[in-house]
Amino acid sequence: MPRMAADDPVVPLAEGIEHDQSQWEKAKAAVLRKTRRLAEDAPDSEVWSVLTTTTLDGLSITPLGTPELVSDLPETGLPGEAPYTRGSGTGDPELTGWDIRGWFTDPETTPADLSTELENGANSLWLTVGERGIAADRLAELLEPVFLDLAPVVLDAREDAVAAAEAFLAVCRDKGTDPHPLTNLGATGTDLDTVVRVATLAKEAGVRGVVVDASALHDQGASEVQELAWSMMVAVTYLRALEAAGFTTDEAAAQLEFRYAATDEQFPTIAKLRAARALWNRVGEISGIGAQARAQRQHAVTSRPMMARYDSYTNMLRTTVAGFAAGVGGADAVTVLPFDEPLGLPTPFSRRIARNTSSLLIHESHVAKVVDPAGGAYAVEKFTDDLAMAAWALFSELDGLDELEGVADLDAAADRLRPLVEAVRNDRALQIARRQRPITGVSEFPNPAEKLPERRPYPVEPDVFRYAGEFEQMRDEPAAQPVFLATMGTIAAHTARATFAINLLAAGGIGIGAAGATTDVADVVDKYREAGAPSVVCLAGTDAAYGEWGAELVTALREAGASYVIVAGKSDIGQDASAAMGLDALAFLRALREELQK
């Protein structure tokens, strides 16, 4: 390569260099062939089908964004302007980030807990009030040190939202202060009379009173499209109920705050929040809501279903990605749930980690310094539009109203949506069972010696469909008998399949006794007898070893007492079952546990 002379101009690497799509395909195809994800004789263009991700809604996330993807899409506008796809607010050089919202549900929460939260990074409080959390008559005590005109408070009192709202407003009157304008009295659910009563109290106090809680549907296993469609369905119903009670259209819209779940699948989360704002803007246009009132206020909460009880510290990684996605997606407020949320009531330590997650994203990573960081990315813009279109179509099916007029029956709409959510739950469960959606610490890389941290139980156990639930149930009740791992040959030879088998069995709460390095059939059988001759044996070796002495070993182990033999891999050497990549791990483990009970 010739040297550059001292007086030669410095040319940016990318300047004057153009690449076409075929070059990208060629480069990607070379990598995929090395990893055996693409056949040697397959055309380079097949990289698109190999790398494209399909969501549970059947939508595609392209591996490469190109201008052609967005050539026929409508304009997304500027941040802070309709259709608000790019954010409900505008950029600010001194932007301090999103509202870090701390969550409290512990009946024994103290005033010091709330003060600590607000003094160490949180901007607002989200309080579960009633049977599921803090007693309404404790609000005066808890909020005594809180400057309610400076820190917004969002209530979540599903059992008696009116009583909670009245108790909170009484605290404000006793303190002689007006609540922060972004306070929300938190009416939600399908009881429209309660929604109207709380919204009326909120309007008089100059705050919001209603939450469109789409995250509750997510907690039941819903997809992104279903969550978005349901949020529009609920919001329109609330809007019409408030108008019927005397609110103007703009006043009714101003009462609503939307809550969505943020998952560790960052691109779907980013696109979902952007699509939600565009959808609500469209509803506002049809309903006659003023342009400024159509700006959706969003509260994103990290997903409960994605969190696991086992290896719970890994939840910190999941919630960090989810919090990042929520911030990038433009959420106005973000609640990062404590990593121990699936175990029971959070501790001061886990709450600190949760709020610091947002603080680090804002102040260390400077994520909030850019408005709509994903805006203009072709793949994100395309997926945002795809989500919005699919959600609008489903919303139209659920609504059944002509031009959004009248008040819909939310319970009837929920009944229509329920089988669709159930289908998504089943599809997701099958992918988790096949470990196509791996759950670290549970379905992959479990620690069989792990002792779960102890937490105090919730007053009422949250109604959440946890993705790791079926694996965790098996871990909760370990198998009574272990499996003998008949490793064939040296450690270097059998380690890959032995590791696969160990992780698979441990994910089902099944103990393992391994032979270690072995030389021949007799050596393995001797170690099998030393281990107490368990009834179930799993062979782990190379294909070559299976071909040379696998069948002989299976026969010898059966003669020594093994009643059920498994082979790690796809070789057929007379075994009872095989364990290889792509199998339905849950079905396999359940069948194996039944064998161990015999």
From 361, 384, 403, the end of a domain falls on: 403
- Indicate whether 429 belongs to any domain: no
Among residues 210, 346, 350, 330, which one has the least CA distance to residue 277?
330
Is pLDDT of 405 > 70? no
Range of the domain at 168: 99-403
**36 and 111 fall within a common domain:** no
Is pLDDT of 8 > 70? no
Which residues, 6+ apart, have CB-to-CB distance to 231 below 8 Å? 212, 214, 258, 260, 276, 279
Q: Are strands 53-54 and 60-61 parallel, antiparallel or unpaired?
A: antiparallel
Q: What is the pLDDT of residues 226-250, one digit of tens each?
A: 999 999 999 999 999 999 999 999 9
**39 and 153 fall within a common domain:** no
Confidence of residue 17 (pLDDT cuts 50, 70, 90): low
pTM across the whole model: 0.92
Backbone angles phi, psi at 260, to 5 degrees: -125, 155
Query: Total domain count for the chain?
Result: 3
The CATH code of the domain that includes 132 is 3.20.20.240
- Indicate whether 93 belongs to any domain: no
Q: What is the pLDDT of residues 48-82, one digit of tens each?
A: 999 999 999 999 999 999 889 999 998 898 999 99
Q: How far apart are the first and last CA of the chain?
A: 71
**391 and 504 fall within a common domain:** no
Confidence of residue 398 (pLDDT cuts 50, 70, 90): confident
- The pLDDT value recorded for residue 96 is 73
Confidence of residue 413 (pLDDT cuts 50, 70, 90): confident
- The pLDDT value recorded for residue 411 is 85
Side chain identity at 61, as an amino acid letter? I
CA distance 415 to 513: 49
Confidence of residue 97 (pLDDT cuts 50, 70, 90): confident
Weakest-pLDDT range from 88-97, 112-121, 344-353, 526-535: 88-97
CA distance 270 to 265: 9
- The pLDDT value recorded for residue 322 is 98
Q: What is the pLDDT of residues 297-329, one digit of tens each?
A: 999 999 999 999 999 999 999 999 999 999 999
**121 and 32 fall within a common domain:** no
- The pLDDT value recorded for residue 15 is 63
Q: What is the mean pLDDT of residues 106-128?
A: 97
Is pLDDT of 403 > 60? no
Q: What is the pLDDT of residues 415-460, one digit of tens each?
A: 889 999 999 999 999 999 999 999 999 999 999 999 999 999 999 9
CA distance 136 to 117: 20
**185 and 330 fall within a common domain:** yes
**487 and 343 fall within a common domain:** no
- Indicate whether 376 belongs to any domain: yes
- Indicate whether 446 belongs to any domain: no
**180 and 241 fall within a common domain:** yes
Q: What is the CA radius of gyration of the chain?
A: 28
**346 and 236 fall within a common domain:** yes
- Indicate whether 12 belongs to any domain: no
553 or 17, greater pLDDT:
553
Is pLDDT of 192 > 70? yes
Is pLDDT of 337 > 90? yes
Supply the mean pLDDT for the chain. Answer: 92
**117 and 37 fall within a common domain:** no
**133 and 252 fall within a common domain:** yes
7 or 169, greater pLDDT:
169
- Indicate whether 86 belongs to any domain: no
- Indicate whether 408 belongs to any domain: no
**372 and 496 fall within a common domain:** no
CB 512 within 8 A of CB 482: yes
- Indicate whether 337 belongs to any domain: yes
In eight-state DSSP terms, residue 136 is G
Q: What is the pLDDT of residues 576-592, one digit of tens each?
A: 999 998 899 999 999 99
From 351, 369, 403, the end of a domain falls on: 403
Q: Residue 101, SS3?
A: strand
Q: What is the pLDDT of residues 245-271, one digit of tens each?
A: 999 999 999 999 999 999 999 999 999
Is pLDDT of 401 > 60? no
Q: What is the pLDDT of residues 479-522, one digit of tens each?
A: 989 999 999 999 999 999 999 999 999 999 999 999 999 999 99
Confidence of residue 13 (pLDDT cuts 50, 70, 90): low
The CATH code of the domain that includes 511 is 3.40.50.280
Per cent of the chain over pLDDT 70 is 95
CB 4: neighbour CB atoms within 10 A?
10
**173 and 36 fall within a common domain:** no
CA distance 263 to 323: 8
From 370, 386, 403, the end of a domain falls on: 403
Is pLDDT of 100 > 70? yes
